[in-house]
């Protein structure tokens, strides 16, 4: 956690959120820090962050804006992307000499169907609209003007930030060193920052080790750390994304193959398929399958009429004018919940 409250100063440094780096801060960290002071107490917030998860930045901005006491922001080193939105919560925003502010559109990628991609676009547009309004409220510009700045990706010196209305003052105090971050992923990052990232080997560690995406969770959380859609993308970053997607698919396929090959999965294939999509480990799935009854083969006089069976399937899928009752969970779902309780796991939400 890099949200430290000391002597009336809240220092926020590192990545916004906990998606890539461990040396970051989340909205939960900020909540805990703010709980240590009175709500009407004046607070100086020092920011040194290259950005991160867009929704986390919005949440932290809301927390600081909701305080009844005066909140003053001091940007030390850098406030880029989601961190620049957090800075807008300050009644005053002061840029340290040599510091940088960067504003751009949120971005992300989707793993899934065309409908999944459409939902991602819808979500990104909603985030961008909300961000533009926050920038507009601070700068006095219109939301449309701020959105144009976001699409262009602007890197602002202290004086430029003041001139544009995103900051109120500068200081002659030498700025702190910029936060460790892979600035090469941004479309228009200053060369000194991309060179520094290369020299220090600041990379998005873990981006190629993401867990396999479940079929019902195809999208990645929108971040403010990917390239904007109007600029050239780093070859290294594109390679990392492709490798991450490939590794995720391979991990999911291996998980499914391992589970379906279990002796305990025989006669319980439907339950096995359902458990694969949960967060249970393969060992836990094996235990759950062993505790579940196997399906009994039906005798000839018990087998359903093929036409009646297909009609029931259509009705259950909403194709025959009738839908299954929303109040009655499907049998596999009940089985999964029971197995979670058996293994001491929390129920899915």
Rounded distance, CA 338 to CA 322, Å?
28
pLDDT for position 38:
93
Same-domain pairing of 179 and 97: yes
Mean of the pLDDT values across residues 261-289? 78
Which among 153, 174, 200 is the end of a domain? 200
Confidence band of 218 (pLDDT split at 50, 70, 90): very low
**Listed range (54-68, 219-233, 271-285, 329-343) with the worst mean pLDDT:** 219-233
Q: Is residue 244 part of a domain?
A: no
Q: What is the pLDDT of residues 31-66, one digit of tens each?
A: 999 999 999 999 999 999 999 889 899 999 999 999
Mean of the pLDDT values across residues 13-25? 77
Residue 127 token pair: 């985030």
Q: Is residue 187 part of a domain?
A: yes
98 close to 174: Cβ distance less than 8 angstroms: yes
Confidence band of 152 (pLDDT split at 50, 70, 90): very high
Tell which wins on pLDDT, 206 or 346.
346
**Listed range (63-77, 140-154, 167-181, 226-240) with the worst mean pLDDT:** 226-240
Tell which wins on pLDDT, 58 or 276.
58
Q: Is residue 320 part of a domain?
A: yes
Confidence band of 282 (pLDDT split at 50, 70, 90): confident
Same-domain pairing of 293 and 170: no
C-alpha pair distances (Å), 344 with each of 280, 334, 340: 11, 15, 6
Q: What is the mean pLDDT of the chain?
A: 75
Tell which wins on pLDDT, 218 or 6.
6
Same-domain pairing of 25 and 167: yes
pLDDT for position 311:
52
Rounded distance, CA 200 to CA 197, Å?
5
**Listed range (103-112, 175-184, 291-300) with the worst mean pLDDT:** 291-300
Q: Is residue 248 part of a domain?
A: no
Same-domain pairing of 19 and 160: yes
Tell which wins on pLDDT, 244 or 9.
9
Which among 200, 222, 250 is the end of a domain? 200
Same-domain pairing of 23 and 95: yes
Per-range mean pLDDT, top range of 156-170, 202-216, 258-272, 307-321: 156-170
Residue 27 token pair: 């909205």
Same-domain pairing of 193 and 293: no
Q: Is residue 161 part of a domain?
A: yes
Confidence band of 270 (pLDDT split at 50, 70, 90): confident
pLDDT at residue 122 is higher than 70: yes
Same-domain pairing of 157 and 43: yes
Percent with pLDDT over 70 in the chain: 64
pLDDT at residue 87 is higher than 50: yes
Give the number of other CB atoms < 10 A from CB of residue 340: 19
pLDDT for position 206:
41
Specify the number of domains making up the chain: 2
C-alpha pair distances (Å), 15 with each of 21, 46, 217, 251: 6, 14, 24, 27
pLDDT for position 256:
83
Q: Is residue 208 part of a domain?
A: no
Which among 200, 231, 250 is the end of a domain? 200
Mean of the pLDDT values across residues 195-209? 58
Same-domain pairing of 267 and 155: no
Q: Is residue 143 part of a domain?
A: yes
Per-range mean pLDDT, top range of 140-149, 221-230, 340-349: 140-149
Same-domain pairing of 182 and 275: no
**∠ Cα 245 126 164 (to 5°):** 105
pLDDT for position 112:
84
pLDDT at residue 228 is higher than 80: no
pLDDT for position 319:
44
Rounded distance, CA 252 to CA 244, Å?
12
CATH classification at residue 161: 3.90.226.10
Containing structural domain, residue 100? 3-200
**Listed range (30-39, 54-63, 200-209, 216-225) with the worst mean pLDDT:** 216-225
Q: Is residue 247 part of a domain?
A: no
Tell which wins on pLDDT, 84 or 174.
84
Q: Which residues contact 37 (CB under 8 A, 6 or more apart)?
A: 5, 8, 43
46 close to 70: Cβ distance less than 8 angstroms: no
Phi then psi for 10, rounded to 5 degrees? -105, 120
Same-domain pairing of 35 and 143: yes
pLDDT at residue 241 is higher than 70: no
Same-domain pairing of 287 and 170: no
**Listed range (1-5, 155-159, 239-243, 282-286) with the worst mean pLDDT:** 239-243
Same-domain pairing of 280 and 184: no
Residue 84 token pair: 């620049």
């Amino acid at each position: 956690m890099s949200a430290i409250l000391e002597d009336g100063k809240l220092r926020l440094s590192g990545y916004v959120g906990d998606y890539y780096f461990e040396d970051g801060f989340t909205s939960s960290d900020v909540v805990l820090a703010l709980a240590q002071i009175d709500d009407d107490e004046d607070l100086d917030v020092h920011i040194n962050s290259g950005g991160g998860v867009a929704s986390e930045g919005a949440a932290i901005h809301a927390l600081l804006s909701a305080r009844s006491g005066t909140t003053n922001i001091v940007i030390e080193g850098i406030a880029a992307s989601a961190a620049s939105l957090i800075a807008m919560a300050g009644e005053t925003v002061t840029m340290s000499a040599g510091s940088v502010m960067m504003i751009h559109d949120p971005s992300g990628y989707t793993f899934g169907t065309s409908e999944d991609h459409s939902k991602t676009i819808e979500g990104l547009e909603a985030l961008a609209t909300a961000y533009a309004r926050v920038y507009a409220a601070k700068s006095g510009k219109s939301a449309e003007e701020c959105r144009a700045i976001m699409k262009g990706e602007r890197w602002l010196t202290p004086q430029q930030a003041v001139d544009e209305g995103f900051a109120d003052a500068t200081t002659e105090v030498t700025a702190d060193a910029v936060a460790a971050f892979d600035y090469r992923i941004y479309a228009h990052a200053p060369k000194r920052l991309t060179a520094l990232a290369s020299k220090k080997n600041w990379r998005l560690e873990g981006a190629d080790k993401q867990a396999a995406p479940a079929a019902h969770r195809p999208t990645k959380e929108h971040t403010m750390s990917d390239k904007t859609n109007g600029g050239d993308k780093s070859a290294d970053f594109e390679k990392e994304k492709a490798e991450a997607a490939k590794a995720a698919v391979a991990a999911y396929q291996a998980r499914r193959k391992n589970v379906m090959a279990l002796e305990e999965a025989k006669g319980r294939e439907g339950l096995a398929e359902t458990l694969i999509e949960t967060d249970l480990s393969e060992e836990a799935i094996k235990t759950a399958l062993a505790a579940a009854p196997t399906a009994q083969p039906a005798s000839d006089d018990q087998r359903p009429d093929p036409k009646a069976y297909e009609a029931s399937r259509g009705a259950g899928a909403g194709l025959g004018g009738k839908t299954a009752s929303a109040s009655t969970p499907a049998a596999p779902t009940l089985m999964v919940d029971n197995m979670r309780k058996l293994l001491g796991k929390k129920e899915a939400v």
